[in-house]
Structure 1
Amino acid sequence: MRSRWAFVALAILTACVVVAGPLPGEWALVRWALTTRSDALTRLIWWLTFISSATPALLICAFASSAHLAQQRKRRAAFDIAQITSATWPLTAYVGALISNIAMRIAIGRTRPSVDYIPHGLPELQADFQRFSYPSGHAGAATIALFALAALSASHPRLRIPAMLGAAFLMLGVGFGRVYLGVHWPNDVLGGYLLAAGWIGIGLHLRDKLG
């Protein structure tokens, strides 16, 4: 049973590679997203973009890892490397997804939509690989960071469902925002979600195996 997350992760990561090509109707979805633009919505999208950027998402994963470690400390008098690795699975998932994201962008080389894009309110560092769009790094980072936060509610049954629903709502908002800003195709967002989900599966496998 402890290996179930490994199989789930493998299946999801395989799906991420399989769906790397363009999807039917993507251009129509991009055009629709552009028609919804407004000043108020753009400000909201900028905020969602910021929290799913590399540094904020990394800090959220570090916080969640620290919280999981603190929870384990209450149950154990001493720690070893395996238990620390188990508790810090959000950081493992984040770093793994980041490295995979860069590798896939370079290998697949899909260009961004040719539309007027809205610059982010807080510009980020621009690396050469970022001219490629598949998979979306923001969608993946948001998925891992928000899931890690929501997972902290696992020991509180009354909070579990609201936390997961809230996380899912924000993940979808980030994904929509990538298309709204004109920087990603819908399939890039789907790929980002899948890549992140696969690495979450790897993180949970390590948590169950080593914890």
Structure 2
Amino acid sequence: MTRSAGPVGWRVPTAVVLAVLFVAVLLCTRAGAGPAILDRPLLSFLAERRTGPLTVLMTAITTLGSVYCLVPLAVLGALARSRLARSWWPAVVVLLAVGGTAVLTFAVKVVDGRARPPAGVVAVVGEDFSFPSGHTSNTTATIGVLTFLVYGLVRPGRPRVLLVTGAVLVMAAVGLSRLYLGVHWFTDVLGGYLLAGAWLLLVTELADRLSPGRPPSP
């Protein structure tokens, strides 16, 4: 049996707040106001502090946020969790979270059409438009939904804290790598987190309401 529909949990209103903040950041990028005033100073600050070894490390981290790493991770995670649950529902949840985020990110990029940072501060070449950061949003969606599916299988207490902390650190590292390498503005990365976070919360709320007998999640 599926879970009965109950009161709206904390995820839906939080998703609405994140969506509103996302729109606000988008408008700020166009007006050069709000958090967008940090875009150029932060980009210059990080570019001036690049070193060879750190650039190699950040390039490796940013690769973790590419489709070449995220897609296999999402597929393997979805299949493993579905096999354990003896249901295709976990795979559907992963598809909704990761696929939905990718579609939303691409759509906003095309509609907004924001240019990437200037070539003089770019350490690696970025393709397509800049806002929001696809590496950031896709990493957040993939790591976030897999953490959601595994959370209930992990013992309460320190193991769960370590799981969530590790997931957050991976998301943060990929976002930072995009800034360090000069591929994105600060508001691109911020927008990626907000967009993926809002969509992920909606998907996980749906999953909690419809999935049969799933262990509790955060």
Class of the TM-score when normalised by the shorter of the 2 chains: 0.7 to 0.9
Mapped contact 2:143–2:171 kept (Cα < 8 A): yes
Match of 1:10 in 2: 16
Q: 1:68 aligns with which of 65, 77, 81?
A: 81
- Structure 1 residues 46 and 58, CA gap change in structure 2 (3 angstroms): same
Tell me how far 1:55 sits from its aligned partner: 3.0
Q: Match for 1:8: what amino acid? A: T
Tell me how far 1:53 sits from its aligned partner: 0.5
How many residues of Structure 1 are paired with residues of Structure 2 in the alignment?
A: 194
Match of 1:76 in 2: none
The Cα RMSD (Å) is 2.1
Q: 2:41 aligns with which of 28, 38, 53?
A: 28
Q: Residue 164 in 1 paired to residue 169 in 2?
A: no
Structure 2: how far apart are the matches of 1:201 and 1:12?
A: 10
Structure 1: how far apart are the matches of 2:8 and 2:73?
A: 27
Structure 1: how far apart are the matches of 2:141 and 2:206?
A: 15
Within 5 A, what are the aligned runs for 1:1-211?
A: 1=6, 3-4=8-9, 5-20=11-26, 21-22=28-29, 23-73=36-86, 79=87, 84-85=88-89, 88-114=92-118, 115-119=120-124, 126=127, 130=128, 132-151=129-148, 152-156=150-154, 157=156, 158-211=158-211
Mapped contact 2:82–2:89 kept (Cα < 8 A): no
- Structure 1 residues 203 and 2, CA gap change in structure 2 (3 angstroms): farther
Q: Percent identity?
A: 29
Structure 2: how far apart are the matches of 1:71 and 1:195?
A: 30
Structure 1: how far apart are the matches of 2:204 and 2:151?
A: 15
Q: Match for 2:163: what amino acid? A: A
Tell me how far 1:159 sits from its aligned partner: 1.8
Mapped contact 1:64–1:148 kept (Cα < 8 A): no
Structure 2: how far apart are the matches of 1:86 and 1:203?
A: 11
Query: What secondary structure does 1:18 align onto?
Result: helix
Mapped contact 2:124–2:182 kept (Cα < 8 A): no
Structure 2: how far apart are the matches of 1:198 and 1:64?
A: 21
Tell me how far 1:150 sits from its aligned partner: 3.0
Structure 2: how far apart are the matches of 1:101 and 1:50?
A: 18
Structure 2: how far apart are the matches of 1:194 and 1:162?
A: 23
Mapped contact 2:64–2:174 kept (Cα < 8 A): no
Query: What secondary structure does 1:155 align onto?
Result: coil
Structure 2: runs of 5+ lacking an equivalent = 1-5, 30-35, 212-218
Query: What secondary structure does 1:173 align onto?
Result: helix
Structure 1: how far apart are the matches of 2:175 and 2:159?
A: 24
Mapped contact 1:153–1:159 kept (Cα < 8 A): no
Mapped contact 2:115–2:130 kept (Cα < 8 A): yes
* TM-score for both structures, normalised by structure 1: 0.82
